[in-house]
Amino acid sequence: MEDNYIDCRDTKTGVLVPMQVNQIKNMYTDAHFVLVVEKDATFQKLLDQGMCQKFHPPALTHGKGFPDINTRMLVRKLWESFQMPVLVLVDADPHGIEIMTVYKYGSRSLAFETEFLAVPALRWLGVLPTDITRLGIPESAFIPLSNTDRKKASDLLQRPCVKHHLAWQQEIERLLGTGKVEIQCLDTISSTFLTDVYLPGKLCNRGWI
């Protein structure tokens, strides 16, 4: 069977994550970092607004919400192969925070495969609950926490991986006091705020661009 060569730069909408990630060979990238996005809508927005042209080339990917095994395996493979920063952008809500922990530490149901799927060096770029307060997002953008949200937030606070990060605990506690917001809340400032201001500020402050 002939090998297939895929150039992700040849499309404006992205390339589906292969079903057999472990069979990918001869990977090459000039990306300076990997940005994992929670949702397809945000992923497409970043592509449409030219993020790949505005920054040093990033490797963008998303898991359509809660990530499947192939997406997590690809992110792990990129990190292992190129040793570049892996950053995650999720909603400021308990579900988004849980997604971030799955990419970083693995899921409870697949704990035995963590060493093949998790990226311990992954960093939570945003959206942070404290960002929302700092940016002055209007109250109309906040969504009240449901009982399920509060239960998940409480569960997260009890997890060893969260107890290990004081800053994460503070973010979750802030969330419990204010309510949740989605990444799209940044559009209340400007339709291009995410790509023109928020991400450049975050990346520059940490020396990633």
165 burial (CB, 10 Å; 0-12 / 13-18 / 19+) is middle
Share of the chain above pLDDT 70, in %: 82
The CATH number of 8-205 is 3.40.1360.10
Given this model, what pLDDT does residue 109 score?
61
- Per DSSP, the three-state class of 78 is helix
> What would the pLDDT profile of 119-169 be if each residue is shown by its tens digit?
899 999 989 999 988 888 888 888 899 999 999 999 999 988 888 889 999
Helix then strand then coil, % of the chain, to nearest 5: 55, 10, 35
